[in-house]
Chain A
Amino acid sequence: MVLKIEAKWEIPYVHSAGEHATRFFEALKEKRILGVRCPRCGRVLVPPRAFCERCYVDTDEWVEVKDEGVIETLTINYARFTGLPEPPYAVGIVKLDGADTGMLAYLGGVDLSDWKKAHERLKIGTRVRAVWKDEPEGRITDILYFKPVEE
């Protein structure tokens, strides 16, 4: 046996969101989702960022996209990990109408107890719509989750 020494990192930080994300978060307060269009490749980037990493040019044309779109892929987490939400929870990539990139988001409104049934209900290509927090406060979590649109 050897002696064991306990240690812990607790290091607070305050991150800057930058001007682009700040504008995106401001719009969330009005339940509006903004993206930016790259002046060179024309892609609408959602969530917005200050430059198109492929073209290496600044982006400054703002575009409003829908809070509806399609699921590009997903997973449902069943394991409990420190600092992550209580399982089960579904996370997917949603491509909003009017956007050219997918957005990482929670998926919900579906029973997650059986993953195969839930995958069927949330399968790739399923149309989903944002479920908003009643009183948005300008945080990414104002979009609680995306749920399937009932046809």
Chain B
Amino acid sequence: MKRVAVVGVGQTRFRTRRDDKTHPELTREAVSRALDHAGISMEDVDAFVFGTMDPFDGINCPDRWSSTAAGFGKPFMKISTGGTTGLTTGIAAYQHVASGMFDVVVAVCTQRVGENVDAQPVLNTAVDPIYEGHSGVGAISVAAIQATAHMQRFGTTEEQMAWVSVKDHESALKNPYAHIRKRLSVEDVLSSPVISSPLKLYECCPRSDGSVAIVFASEERAKEIRDNPAWILAESSISDSYFVGDRPDLAVWDSLSIAGRRLYRLAGVDDPKRDIDVAELYSPFTIQEILELEALGFAEKGEGARLAEEGVTFADGDMPTNPSGGVLCTNPIGATGLVRLGEASLQVMGEASNQVDGAEVALAHAWGERCSSTP
């Protein structure tokens, strides 16, 4: 395996709708910005990896449309793995370079959830049609049953979950690309309508239009391109039971714990709390940040709920989590995981919009169809 670094990150401004641009035009906006950030041109790119979830865009194989904006005539691979699509795309691009097959590879993810008049029919088709399709369960319900389990098992409170939302919304105010930029209080969160008990509206992510691109480079090329590349230390991913009822305990995220331990072993991380300076986690619902912090070793089981409330996970706290504002403020679904990796990379480069002082090691995570992590 060769050493690989992120040398450029480009994002579009995320919005409910980006009516000013078509799918390939959005892709081009992100790719151009990533190439500009790296200070290279299209001629320098050896291959592209493209991620999106087709049904949200309403176009079968939108990558075919967007591929002209992602390197006409170049090697091209499309990735689609549900909510993890973005990070799986980043991992695939990383592996393209780590394998030695290519020197400069761009990962780009474009998603237009805003053009999907109601995303629920798409989410409905993500459920097993034999046993579970009738059950009215979508992504929110799965998070909500995790929340119910965590509250009863560990005594986690509604206020503690609300603090996660307050923290992310405060951070998003500093991120010019964030979709939702508005200050919220705990009271605002608690008094918003209950969507899927115990989760309220402001504990749930929005749906966003936008695109993100990341340039990966081999060691030699990375050193030529910039003096502050973000080196990829390791990646890890894992699959989990399809049926939620097969998981022995919904108050803990076992598969993520296993993926995290594998990742830390590969990356030489002994103590994540000490060795990792900032985390960008895929938490579309407040409770999930809590479960993820516990699963990834940033808190003991049942202790994750206190972190936002006590200020630990704020950008200026001891374990800054989602200083970009996270998924609660920006969620272009199939691109969201790559936004996590882009923001984590910018933190390590020292160029993030809500920069954590002295950040040297960052972790990016996504879950969805499969569970992925990268520091």
Can you list 8 A-B contacts with CB-CB less than 8 angstroms, sorted by A residue number? A17-B130, A72-B149, A78-B194, A81-B138, A84-B136, A104-B245, A124-B148, A140-B134
Contact call B196/A78, Cβ cutoff below 8 A = yes
Assuming the contacts A82-B120, A124-B148, asked whether A75 and B196 have C-beta atoms less than 8 A apart, the reply is yes
Q: B136 near A119 (CB under 8 angstroms)?
A: no
Sort A-B residue pairs by CB-CB distance and give the 5 closest, nearest first: A102-B245, A75-B144, A81-B120, A115-B197, A73-B149
Q: How far is the CB of B122 from chain A (nearest CB, A)?
A: 9
With A7-B58, A84-B124: A77-B195 Cβ-Cβ less than 8 Å: yes
Interface size of A as a range: 35 or more
* A104 to B20 Cα, complex, angstroms: 42
Residue of A nearest to B54 (CB): A9
CB-contact partner of B58 in A9, A72, A82, A103, under 8 A = A9
Q: Mark A3-21, 1 if CB is under 8 A from B, else 0.
A: 0100111000001011001
Q: Which of B129, B145, B199, B241 contacts A74 (CB 8 A)?
A: B145
Q: Using A82-B120, A103-B245, A140-B130 as known contacts, list a sample of 8 further A-B pairs with CB atoms less than 8 Å apart, ordered by residue number in A.
A: A21-B130, A75-B197, A78-B193, A79-B196, A91-B136, A93-B244, A95-B245, A115-B198
Partner of B145, one of A78, A84, A93: A93
**Within 8 Å CB of A82, what residues of B?**
118, 120-121
Q: Which residues of A contact B140 (CB under 8 A)?
A: 77, 79
Tell whether, in the assembled complex, residue B58 and residue A74 are in contact, meaning their CB atoms are under 8 Å apart: no
Measured CA separation A49–B202 after assembly (Å): 38
Q: How many residues of B contact A (CB 8 A)?
A: 42
Q: Which residues of B does A touch, CB under 8 Å?
A: 19-20, 55, 58, 118, 120-121, 124, 129-132, 134-138, 140-141, 144-149, 152-153, 193-199, 241-246, 250-251
Q: Mark A87-123, 1 if CB is under 8 A from B, else 0.
A: 0010111010000011111100000000100110001
Q: Which residue on A lies nearest to B22, using beta carbons? A: A2
- A contact set with B: CB distance below 8 Å: 2, 4, 7-9, 15, 17-18, 21, 45, 47, 53, 72-79, 81-85, 89, 91-93, 95, 101-106, 115, 118-119, 123-124, 140-141
Inter-subunit contact B244/A104 (CB<8 Å): yes
Give, as a whole number of angstroms, the nearest-CB distance from B321 to chain A.
24
Q: Which residues of A contact B132 (CB under 8 A)?
A: 104
B172 to chain A: closest CB distance in Å? 23
Which A residues lie within 8 Å of B251 (CB)? 73
On chain B, the residues within 8 Å of A79 by CB distance are: 140, 193, 195-196
CB within 8 Å for A75 and B141 given contacts A47-B131, A101-B245: yes
Q: B residues within 8 A CB of A76? A: 194, 196-197
A52 CB, min distance to chain B CBs, angstroms: 10
Interface centre among B20, B132, B241 (most CB of A within 10 A): B132
Select A21's contact among B20, B131, B149, B153, beta carbons within 8 Å. B131
Contacts of A93 in B (CB 8 A): 145, 244-245, 250
| A8 cross-chain contacts in B, Cβ below 8 A | 58
If A2-B19, A73-B250 touch, whether A89 touches B136 (CB-CB below 8 Å) is yes
Q: Are B250 and A72 neighbours in the complex by a CB distance under 8 Å?
A: yes
The answer to whether B246 and A101 have CB atoms under 8 Å apart is yes
Q: Bound complex: CA of A106 vs CA of B244, how far in Å?
A: 14
Residues of A within 8 A of B244 (CB): 93, 102, 104
Tell me which residues across on chain A come within 8 A of B197, comparing CB atoms. 75-78, 115, 118-119
